[in-house]
Amino acid sequence: LYRHNYMIGVDERLRFVGVDEGEQAIRALIARHPELRGSENEAQMDAVYRAEALRVIASNLGEYLEIFAYRFLPLWFNVGIMEAGGATTGPLEILMMLQQLAILLLAVRGLRGVWPRVWPMAAALIVVSLSYMAVNGQMRFIIPMMPLAVSLAAATLLRLAQKLAPAPLSNSASP
């Protein structure tokens, strides 16, 4: 929570925080807390990180909401993840982003007319997405939900195929 929200209050906050940057932020946080002796366990350190993150978020709620909304991009499309690791987004990653976009658009379209039957699937996608967007958006976290998105997208494609399919021939003209 701290690693992905420490940058609230700086100009370039709409980005994914990579491992190296996150580690530097955590070291700086620890240096600001002289009461930490280095013998704290994981739960104690988590309490320190969480308290600091919630303080930063509460003091800049509007900026946090901007970051929250931005995290949709890394969560569903991995935007900025490669760059945070020191690499560049290549053609394969762009193709993957386009595939994700197609699945997402088809899934949203798949809700039309069937919402009463599929709302649990849509609700699961929304709740999981919002939960990750609150803390850290990265496409690998949405992978367990992709069968739901693909199912909704497939329903859209099936309805489209049924509309485009030629009408069946009648047997009344048989010889």
Distance CA 122, CA 162 (A): 23
91 vs 35: which has the higher pLDDT: 91
> Residue 134: which H helix or E strand, with range?
helix 115-135
At residue 61, does pLDDT exceed 90?
yes
pTM over 0.85: no
- pLDDT (average), residues 12-32: 90
Question: In which region does residue 41 sit, left (phi positive, over 0), alpha (psi from -120 to 50) or beta (all else)?
Answer: beta
Tokens matching residue 164: 């485009």
